[in-house]
Structure 1
């Protein structure tokens, strides 16, 4: 039994070394690309989950109604919807969003807020790079 285990270990070692040797001799065929050298050719999958954004149209309007469903659905409180009440012409008050506060450092990119939004006002963007070379940005 001991000899068999040693033989299987040696066989496993040679299988791994054969794969490593292949990568050394066929380095032009390797598909791994070093980042950020591939920024121009980088294509992210359609289902990639980056940061949460609220898209606006050309008139700077958004679809958010201020219902706070995204805030309730967020498991760790990374979204905060700040609302206000606007007075309409007929004297009634209407709830409107003042701002959407998004804490990227708390977000786990789980997409629960996007799924909970009844008006499809927020989406997961394909932005993922937040590192900078200076502290001013």
Structure 2
């Protein structure tokens, strides 16, 4: 059996992989429609109460982040719907690069909170391995 030839036969693992996409889609929607909530509650930034050009820029960047998460979430759901478990497994494991990068950015920007993102890395890698058939 080749390294890339494995795949899971479990429909439960496919649906759990799709749940990762729904989670990411939800974060994206919050980022687009409630950028201040995402910035303050998820990312931990303290925002000024005075409207300014900088606050507008920060909110716009948060909305871009939200759109990225919506696209990633929909991609995961599309792969779940139209592809096999191997593809979904590799997509979920590759998506963990986003969680790793987000953790680095949060640590740089707020001085902490990186584990809000990094805690998903073992989940994504585990889901990817499950979908690749390593636990069948």
Bin of the TM-score, shorter chain as denominator length: under 0.3
Flag the structure with higher strand content: 1
The two structures have a TM-score, normalised by structure 1, of: 0.24
The two structures have a TM-score, normalised by structure 2, of: 0.24
Greater Rg over alpha carbons, structure: 1
